[in-house]
Amino acid sequence: MTSVSVNTYTHSVTYVSDNILKGLKDILVTSGLSAAKLAGDWVVLHAGISAWLKSGHLKQVSLEIFDPNTDALIYRWDLDIIYSYGTGDGGFWADTEALKYNIRKAGLAPSQASYRVFVDAGPGRPAVDGWSSCSARSTDGFVRQSLGSTISHNGLATGVSYWRKVG
């Protein structure tokens, strides 16, 4: 008798990691920004996101869009990680249309804007080359808008929200 086993969690990690990065690219491009810097950092970003998803340490992936002259936040996008081991039905999906609709709703970023990706990966996380500590810019004067789940694969999902200026 021959037995075959597939590690579906590894497939889920890869699927969700790929779609998180694709979602960040969509946010940048639809916001009117170049994704060249993101593409240049893709390997390092994917390594960290995948490692921390796999270890269960990743809590959130964030994309800050900011004014490089003043260092002031313009928008911030958060992808909250939802772990629900063993409850997945094997289905997978990425709701890119909901994401794109809300990116357009948030509006174009100024042409001089810059961006960075950072994560919240809890204590005890494995070290990943190319990553360092940083602090998030203040969200004072901003309000958080939730979009709900946009990526899901076999019990591993992301909930997306963005921060916009009040008023």
Give the CATH number of the domain where residue 107 resides. Answer: 3.30.900.10
Would residue 29 count as lying in a domain?
Answer: yes
Domain count, the chain: 1
CA dist 68 to 19, 42, 77, 111, Å?
A: 27, 22, 17, 11
Q: What is the pLDDT along the chain (167 residues), one digit of tens a residue?
A: 554 445 666 767 887 888 889 989 988 998 899 999 999 999 999 999 999 999 999 999 999 999 999 999 999 999 998 887 444 455 554 566 666 777 777 777 888 999 999 999 989 999 999 999 999 999 999 999 887 666 655 667 778 888 989 87
pTM, to two decimals = 0.83
Give 21's contacts (C-beta < 8 A, 6+ positions apart).
38, 42, 45, 46, 49
CA dist 52 to 13, 41, 45, Å?
A: 9, 17, 11
Would residue 77 count as lying in a domain?
Answer: yes
Would residue 127 count as lying in a domain?
Answer: no
Would residue 72 count as lying in a domain?
Answer: yes
Give residue 40's domain range. 8-122+142-165
Would residue 149 count as lying in a domain?
Answer: yes
Would residue 79 count as lying in a domain?
Answer: yes
Would residue 16 count as lying in a domain?
Answer: yes
Would residue 21 count as lying in a domain?
Answer: yes
